[in-house]
Amino acid sequence: MTVSNRGRVVLLLLTLSAIPALTSHASGREYVWIPPGGEGWVEVVVRGSEDLAGQAALTAEAPDFISWSFSPGVVSLSPGSSASSNLTLSAAPNAPVGEYEVLVLACSGEVCSQTTVPVAVGELNVSVTGVDPRPTAGEPAALRVSVEPIGPPPEYVGLTLSSTCADLSPRYASGAPPLVVNVSATSDEAGECAVEAVASAGGVTWSSRITIGFLSPLTLERVDVSVPASLELGEELRVTGTISPAPPGPADLEVTLTSPAGDVSVTTHGGSVDREGRFEFIERLESPGRWEIDISLIAPETGERIHIGTYEVRVGTPLPDLRVIVGAEPTGRPEVGEPTQISLRVLDSSGSLSGVVRVNLYDETAGVLIFSDDLVVKGGSSDEITIEYSPTEPGLHAISAVVDPGNEIAESNEDNNGALLEVTVPPPPPSAPGPPGSEPPAATVTERGGFDLAYLAALGLLAAGAAALVARRRLETGPQLETPGADPCEGLRRELLGVERRLGEASSAVPAEFRGVEGTDAVEERLRADLEDEMGRVSGEIQRLRSSLEGLEAERDSLDRRITDARERIEVLNRRLHRLESLRRSREEARQRVKEARQRLDEALREARGRARRKSERLREGARDRGLERRVRREEERLRRAVERLEERPESRSRRRAVERAKARLAEARGRLGEYERK
């Protein structure tokens, strides 16, 4: 600023020195930060030219809620020197947050100069939150302390943490907000413990408290847990155990599974621990390798996790378990020479085999290898194949199928690799008797019927022979008839001829193997031996069927037990699912309530911030308007005094220039006021 003083040019400058209270925005703008009810200060330096000497008074214009004071209020200037004064700014307790300007004036006689000091009014919000889970006495509790600015932030904030019952680390922190500090609080005694966080800036403090409930350290005196060391893939993991002391009521178990790949899953088994401390739960381990099982008790009252133990289980890939199933169906009329369709399929109960396996099919009765080839097994089964076989002998044929006959594939059970099928081939129907002298047809022997046809033929032959013998004896010793001229043997001859005819018919039905046997005793002995052989075969077959039946009954009992156990587990799982669903609904309801509360809080915060912003804008606009009006009045007063001084000495050019400058300043002030009013 250039002014005329007694014909000399004097340069009057005001500068602001950088002090800690002057804060820089991220954009580079600086301001003096003041909290409501607090204060800040800035140093004002007045420099004069070598022609300027005298006293300069310092004044300021600020919003109504900001008070000011200079120390000193008057500075002495000499040519080429400078003087400084401390400007202290104080904000009222109800000062709205926002950014403002304070006009600083330095006047020496009629010569004045001005500058503006940017001022920001802001507050801080301190919060302390705890991090779950609840701590146990002797263990650190994790706290998070946050210092958030409301309005323009200060450059620096100090944070002090204190507690009478817990050791805190750290206890002090500082920095520019927003400031977040992670604090560890440890108490050796159970119970509630208060922690206070105090943030200070601009001579004002803000505080927040949190109360931590430290749990009593619980220890289990006795833990007995039964965990299998190894399982086959697909086999369920059943864990049982007992803990002491037992919880006061049914308690939950938290089971953490770590897979061989490092994946972690957490499962809560609700109500699995009874009042006597016994527990049981089932898990499924889906991949082979080493699994880690970590078991913790969830205290019913506090939700605290009490570690029970960590165990390892190795899950191996199961060996295949092969078996073969066979079936048969005749293609036409079942008799010798007609083909029979035999179906084959290989099953693998483990489902782990993927490859080929050899299958042999035998006719044990005839001693014939019917089929031998490789079948592809994948996904637990092979495709079903059909083989046509034509037995050459009538009777009962035992057809056996054997999978992996050379034991080339390691299996979990090698005793079920075979299957037996019985195929009965009936004999062809008997042909009609041939002409005299021809060979009589041989009788056919069946496995299931034994020697029924042979018995009938032999018995018929015996009966016919006996009848012929009686007829001959009667013919030789027949009675003497009194009727003259009559042949007394005619009737006996006819009877003998009939018996001999029947004897011939019976002889044609006798099996060839009995034709050379003479005497009824030899026939009976031969028939008895064959009958005993057949009875022995039937007895062996009955014994085999009884053994198979006993095995099937044992398997049925095992299946009944497994079904009962599965039903019990399903009931337990259903109860747990109901409890899980109830907990899930409660969690969703709690989340919804939290979400609604957050929405209401956000709306309230937005509304409060909007009200504060609108009020701050109104106050800022009012302060700016009043400042411009005061400046216009001040410039008018200065112009009036300059005119009066010019009237005293009209010939003074310096006073005339002072009037012109006063008019220019007045015009400038009125122009700024007009622009503000137009906006």
pLDDT in tens, 360-405: 988 888 888 888 888 898 878 888 888 888 888 888 888 889 988 8
More reliable by pLDDT, 318 or 199: 199
Give me the residues paired with residue 101 across strands.
118
436 CA to centre of own chain: 93
Here the tokens at position 146 are 């946050």
Q: What does the DSSP assignment read for 610-643?
A: HHHHHHHHHHHHHHHHHHHHHHHHHHHHHHHHHH
Q: What is the DSSP letter of 657?
A: H
Here the tokens at position 40 are 């800040």
CA triple 358-361-367, angle to 5 deg: 130
The reported pLDDT for the residue numbered 197 is 94
Which stretch, 74-83, 111-120, 275-284, 548-557, has highest mean pLDDT?
275-284
The reported pLDDT for the residue numbered 159 is 92
| N- to C-terminal Cα separation, the chain | 29
The reported pLDDT for the residue numbered 453 is 47
How does pLDDT run across 430-462, given as a tens digit for each residue?
554 545 444 444 444 333 333 444 445 555 555
CA 109 – CA 115 distance, rounded (Å): 18
Residues 6+ apart with CB under 8 A from 196: 161, 162, 163, 207, 208, 209
CA 305 – CA 299 distance, rounded (Å): 6
334 pLDDT above the threshold of 60: no
Scan for tokens 């005119």, then name that residue.
643
CA 550 – CA 542 distance, rounded (Å): 12
For residues 306 and 297, the answer to whether their CB atoms sit within 8 Å is yes
CA 97 – CA 609 distance, rounded (Å): 10
For 248, phi then psi, to 5°, come to -65, -20
CB neighbourhood size of 243 (10 A): 24
Q: Which of 198, 55, 66, 181 is nearest to 120 (CA)?
A: 66
Here the tokens at position 400 are 């056996």
Radius of gyration in angstroms for the set of CA atoms belonging to the chain, rounded to a whole number? 59
CA 617 – CA 97 distance, rounded (Å): 10
For residues 105 and 116, the answer to whether their CB atoms sit within 8 Å is no
Q: Which of 131, 139, 295, 274 is nearest to 218 (CA)?
A: 139
Residue type present at position 236: E
Here the tokens at position 314 are 């190795």
For residues 97 and 151, the answer to whether their CB atoms sit within 8 Å is yes
- Per-residue pLDDT, averaged over 504-522, amounts to 60
The reported pLDDT for the residue numbered 320 is 76
- Helices 653-678, 520-648: axis angle to 10 degrees equals 150
At 196, the pLDDT band (50, 70, 90 cuts) reads very high
> How many residues belong to the chain?
679
The reported pLDDT for the residue numbered 121 is 92
Residue 530 vs residues 445, 455, 536: alpha-carbon distances, Å: 11, 11, 10
The reported pLDDT for the residue numbered 330 is 57
pTM of this prediction? 0.36
How does pLDDT run across 38-61, given as a tens digit for each residue?
888 888 888 765 545 678 888 898
Here the contacts of 310-313 (C-beta below 8 Å, separation 24 or greater) are 311/225, 311/227, 312/229, 313/227, 313/228, 313/229, 313/230, 313/231, 313/237, 313/285
Domain 322-425 of CATH type 3.40.50.300: no
Q: What is the DSSP letter of 468?
A: H
- Per-residue pLDDT, averaged over 554-566, amounts to 84
The reported pLDDT for the residue numbered 335 is 65
Here the tokens at position 447 are 């496995």
Scan for tokens 């169906």, then name that residue.
329
The reported pLDDT for the residue numbered 443 is 40
For residues 182 and 188, the answer to whether their CB atoms sit within 8 Å is no
The reported pLDDT for the residue numbered 484 is 46
> Which conformational region is residue 80 in: left (phi greater than 0), alpha (psi within -120 to 50 degrees), or beta?
left
The reported pLDDT for the residue numbered 518 is 57
Q: Is 144 helix (H, G, I), strand (E, B) or coil?
A: strand
331 pLDDT above the threshold of 50: yes
The reported pLDDT for the residue numbered 468 is 54
Helices and strands, counts by H and E, the chain: 4, 36
At 516, the pLDDT band (50, 70, 90 cuts) reads low
Report, in this order, helix, strand and coil percent for the chain, each rounded to 5. 30, 40, 30
How does pLDDT run across 180-193, given as a tens digit for each residue?
999 999 988 878 89
More reliable by pLDDT, 133 or 553: 553
CA 135 – CA 165 distance, rounded (Å): 14
For residues 623 and 64, the answer to whether their CB atoms sit within 8 Å is yes
Scan for tokens 């390892």, then name that residue.
312
More reliable by pLDDT, 135 or 466: 135
Q: Which of 77, 35, 197 is nearest to 127 (CA)?
A: 197
Q: In what helix (H) or strand (E) does residue 43 lie, and over which residues does it extend?
A: strand 39-47
How does pLDDT run across 116-150, given as a tens digit for each residue?
889 999 999 999 988 666 777 888 889 999 999 99
Here the tokens at position 401 are 């199928």
How many C-alpha atoms does 163 have within 13 Å on its Cβ side? 25
Here the tokens at position 346 are 């290989």
CA triple 96-100-105, angle to 5 deg: 130
Mean pLDDT, all residues of the chain: 78
At 483, the pLDDT band (50, 70, 90 cuts) reads very low
Give me the residues paired with residue 310 across strands.
294
Which stretch, 15-24, 262-271, 464-473, has highest mean pLDDT?
262-271
CATH homologous superfamily of 223-316 equals: SOR catalytic domain (2.60.40.730)
- Per-residue pLDDT, averaged over 483-508, amounts to 61
% of the chain surpassing 70 pLDDT: 78
How does pLDDT run across 520-536, given as a tens digit for each residue?
677 677 777 878 888 88
For residues 314 and 230, the answer to whether their CB atoms sit within 8 Å is yes
595 pLDDT above the threshold of 70: yes
For residues 21 and 41, the answer to whether their CB atoms sit within 8 Å is yes
Residues 6+ apart with CB under 8 A from 566: none
For residues 124 and 201, the answer to whether their CB atoms sit within 8 Å is yes
Quick one: fold of 1-121?
Immunoglobulin-like (2.60.40)
At 109, the pLDDT band (50, 70, 90 cuts) reads confident
Which stretch, 224-238, 316-330, 443-457, has highest mean pLDDT?
224-238
Domain 124-214 of CATH type 2.60.40.10: yes
How does pLDDT run across 292-303, given as a tens digit for each residue?
999 998 887 667
Cis geometry, peptide bond prior to residue 178 (ω within 30 degrees of 0): yes
Give me the residues paired with residue 536 across strands.
none
The reported pLDDT for the residue numbered 206 is 92
Give me the residues paired with residue 84 across strands.
45
More reliable by pLDDT, 25 or 161: 161
218 pLDDT above the threshold of 70: no
Here the tokens at position 181 are 């500090």
For residues 252 and 272, the answer to whether their CB atoms sit within 8 Å is yes
Residue 401 vs residues 103, 217, 343, 350, 441: alpha-carbon distances, Å: 110, 67, 10, 20, 36
Residues 6+ apart with CB under 8 A from 493: 475
